[in-house]
């Protein structure tokens, strides 16, 4: 591994950040975590990480220019992992200003601080971006041409028409989305994540900073918040199963597709991005390229917790901005990072469920019916 003198992880007390911080302890002389301990993520009475966590903790809001500048000036990082962000597709429509302030303005504050701090030195920044920037992602039309369709209209979803079609009404065939398709964000959240990519790459032009962009798919695993409604469908379903809130409510027709990638595989991608000699001048998808429907995921979780695999209902409900089919083409990750996922959805859900049983006060035994 490339040895780093000082690492800064924004949002480092969160789900992904805390795992990355632990992994980096062996390669960075000093680690600083900057995190606001957002109540939605950490609960209303969140405490600072324990003093033996292996890093210095700075509680601060990335919207506060003075706070993030002081943190960067104090630790003078040569590696920055940028994870601080508001997440959640649906919520972003209701909190437009907040998402832009945190994700866009906060990233601009970080870029300003890093640019001033590094001077003639070197620094590597790894951005946790999102597959959301693709919107509906890549499809093939009837002629086999690659297309990226616009977001699904609310009136079509209200009428129960969830699958995508072309202007003539012919069905489109979803494929794994490569990084070189045109971005087509379908939510405020997605737009702000795309803007983070632009800000960091453009603001640090002309410096000796290099920027690695990892476009993460649906990350899951132990340590994920069980009370945050915007943290991810697997943790939400796990919490509801343990809380006895059944049947599970499956949106649309249950055929929404997601690419679930386990946290250990994601951490390994960050480590490889930190260690690679030359950062690729292009974003990299981090997923499994697997096709798992929300209905499939719900059934796997119900079985893992010893519940009836039929304890769900297809509600037909929908959310504006949700995409139908999210699946990554990970060719670039394999060729440029030497990365591929190790943990499939079955093994990952088993690991998630084992952790939830210890983390949830009402965790079920596997054999409970």
pLDDT value at residue 250: 96
230 is annotated as an active-site residue: no
- For the chain, the residue count is 369
Instruction: Supply the range of the domain harboring residue 163.
Output: 4-359
Helices (H) then strands (E): counts for the chain: 13, 16
**168 pLDDT exceeds 90?**
no
Check which CATH number belongs to the domain holding 82 and give it: 3.40.50.720
With respect to residue 365, please indicate whether it lies within any of the assigned structural domains.
Answer: no
In contact, 55 and 32? CB cutoff 8 Å:
yes
Going by pLDDT thresholds of 50, 70 and 90, the confidence category of residue 255 is very high
Instruction: Pick the catalytic residue from 189, 220, 262, 318.
Output: 189
CA–CA separation, 355 and 306 (whole Å): 15
CA–CA separation, 109 and 132 (whole Å): 23
With respect to residue 302, please indicate whether it lies within any of the assigned structural domains.
Answer: yes
pTM, 2 dp: 0.94
Residue written as tokens 């706070």?
67
Residue written as tokens 């702000």?
192
**Total number of domains in the chain:** 1
With respect to residue 246, please indicate whether it lies within any of the assigned structural domains.
Answer: yes
List the beta bridge partners of residue 258.
292
Output the CA torsion sign for 240, 244, 245, 251: positive
**132 pLDDT exceeds 70?**
yes
Going by pLDDT thresholds of 50, 70 and 90, the confidence category of residue 366 is very low
**175 pLDDT exceeds 90?**
yes
Cα atoms in the Cβ-side hemisphere of radius 13 Å centred on 321: 15
pLDDT value at residue 364: 47
The 10s digit of each residue's pLDDT in 302-353 is: 999 999 999 999 999 998 889 999 999 999 999 999 999 999 999 999 999 9
With respect to residue 369, please indicate whether it lies within any of the assigned structural domains.
Answer: no
Bridge-based pairing of strands 173-174 and 139-140 is antiparallel
| Short-list 271, 255, 266, CA closest to 325 | 255
With respect to residue 67, please indicate whether it lies within any of the assigned structural domains.
Answer: yes
Averaged confidence pLDDT in the chain: 92
For the chain, helix, strand, coil in percent to 5 are 35, 20, 45
CA–CA separation, 36 and 11 (whole Å): 7
With respect to residue 320, please indicate whether it lies within any of the assigned structural domains.
Answer: yes
The 10s digit of each residue's pLDDT in 19-65 is: 999 999 988 999 999 999 987 777 766 777 776 678 999 999 999 99
Q: How many CB atoms lie within 10 A of CB 151?
A: 18
With respect to residue 260, please indicate whether it lies within any of the assigned structural domains.
Answer: yes
In contact, 311 and 243? CB cutoff 8 Å:
no
Q: Name the DSSP class of 333.
A: I
Percent of the chain with pLDDT over 70: 95
CA–CA separation, 84 and 235 (whole Å): 20
With respect to residue 366, please indicate whether it lies within any of the assigned structural domains.
Answer: no
């Amino acid at each position: 591994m490339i040895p780093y003198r000082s690492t800064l992880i924004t949002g480092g007390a969160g789900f992904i950040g805390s795992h990355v911080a632990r992994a980096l302890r062996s390669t960075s002389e000093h680690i600083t975590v900057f995190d606001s301990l957002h109540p939605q993520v950490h609960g209303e009475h969140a405490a600072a990480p324990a003093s033996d966590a292996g890093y210095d903790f700075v509680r601060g809001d990335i919207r506060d220019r003075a706070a993030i500048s002081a943190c960067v000036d104090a630790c003078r990082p040569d590696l920055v992992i940028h994870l601080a962000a508001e997440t959640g597709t649906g919520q972003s429509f209701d909190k437009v200003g907040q998402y832009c302030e945190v994700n866009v303005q906060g990233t601009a504050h970080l870029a300003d601080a890093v640019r001033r701090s590094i001077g003639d030195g070197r620094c590597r920044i790894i951005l946790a971006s999102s597959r959301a920037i693709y919107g509906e992602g890549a499809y093939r039309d009837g002629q086999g041409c690659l297309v990226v369709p616009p977001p699904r209209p609310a009136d079509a979803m209200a009428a129960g028409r969830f699958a995508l079609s072309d202007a003539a009404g012919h069905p489109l065939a979803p494929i794994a989305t490569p990084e070189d398709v045109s971005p087509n964000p379908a939510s405020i959240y997605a737009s702000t994540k795309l803007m983070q990519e632009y800000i960091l790459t453009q603001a640090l032009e002309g410096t000796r900073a290099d920027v690695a962009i990892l476009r993460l798919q649906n990350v899951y695993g132990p340590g994920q918040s069980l009370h945050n409604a915007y943290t991810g469908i697997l943790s939400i379903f796990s919490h509801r199963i343990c809380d006895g809130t059944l049947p599970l409510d499956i949106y649309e027709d249950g055929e929404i597709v997601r690419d679930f990638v386990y946290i250990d595989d994601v951490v390994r991608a960050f480590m490889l991005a930190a260690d690679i000699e030359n950062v690729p001048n292009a974003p990299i998808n981090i997923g499994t390229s697997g096709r798992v429907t929300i209905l499939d995921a719900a059934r796997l979780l119900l079985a893992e917790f010893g519940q009836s695999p039929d304890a769900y209902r297809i509600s037909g409900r929908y959310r504006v901005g949700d995409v139908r089919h999210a699946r990554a083409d990970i060719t670039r990750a394999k060729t440029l990072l030497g990365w591929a996922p190790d943990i499939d959805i079955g093994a990952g859900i088993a690991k998630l469920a084992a952790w939830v049983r210890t983390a949830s006060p009402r965790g079920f035994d596997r054999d409970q019916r």
